[in-house]
């Protein structure tokens, strides 16, 4: 079944993005290389496209990629870590464009986005703070905040001693 799914995913991605655009994504998502046939893969072409990608073009390409995968009716998770270090443009591109596009899909319920950040590094003036508030206010997106506390000194000592055993 995994082989059938991989073949279906490869065809769906190739049909939706085209070989050249799919090759350009290999630089950012190396694991998709396995989905591209040798006949379709042209490293020279991929490198020239990849070097010319603007932020907007990359986000557009990623949005098409995610939307194509959602057509396969399988659950999908996108996890982005360290969002506290993201620039305003990156936050708008990823949390704005990509999530807005996905919420318009019929099968958006299959998509789970997990954004991780250090809340002690995100003030009310940080662009992420404003975007999180927009997501909370959206009627189409369900959000849940999970706050984790720091490890205690005792927790760290126990973890380190268990690893050294």
Name the one residue in this structure whose structure tokens are 């290999």: 26
Residues of the chain with pLDDT under 50: 39, 50
Task: Work out the mean pLDDT of the chain and round it to a whole number.
Answer: 81
The two tokens of residue 4 are 């059938």
Largest CA distance in the chain: 56
User: Distance (Å, rounded) from C-alpha 50 to C-alpha 52?
Assistant: 5
Q: What is the pLDDT of residue 44?
A: 52
Q: What distance in Å separates the CA atoms of residue 85 and residue 115, rounded to the nearest whole number?
A: 12
pLDDT for res 3: 80
Supply the DSSP string of 57-72, one letter for each residue.
HHHHHHHHHHHHHHTT
Tokens of 7: 């073949």
What is the predicted pLDDT for the residue at 37?
62
Looking at 11-133, which runs of residues are DSSP E strands? 76-80, 111-115
Structure confidence at residue 154 (pLDDT): 93
What is the rounded CA–CA span in Å between residue 94 and residue 5? 27
pLDDT number for residue 163: 92
What is the tens place of the pLDDT at every residue in 145-155?
A: 888 888 899 99
């Amino acid at each position: 079944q995994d082989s059938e799914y991989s073949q279906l995913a490869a065809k769906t991605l190739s049909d939706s993005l085209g070989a050249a655009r799919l090759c350009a994504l290999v630089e950012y998502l190396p694991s998709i290389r396995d989905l591209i046939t040798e006949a379709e893969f042209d490293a020279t072409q991929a490198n020239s496209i990849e070097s010319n990608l603007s932020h907007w073009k990359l986000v557009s390409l990623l949005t098409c990629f995610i939307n194509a995968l959602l057509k396969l009716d399988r659950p999908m998770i996108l996890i982005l870590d360290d969002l506290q270090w993201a620039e305003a443009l990156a936050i708008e591109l990823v949390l704005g464009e990509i999530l807005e596009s996905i919420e318009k899909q019929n099968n958006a319920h299959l998509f789970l986005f997990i954004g991780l950040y250090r809340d002690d590094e995100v003030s009310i003036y940080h662009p992420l703070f404003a975007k999180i508030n927009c997501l909370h206010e959206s009627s189409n997106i369900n959000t849940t905040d999970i706050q984790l506390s720091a490890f205690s000194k005792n927790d760290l000592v126990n973890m380190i001693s268990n690893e050294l055993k």
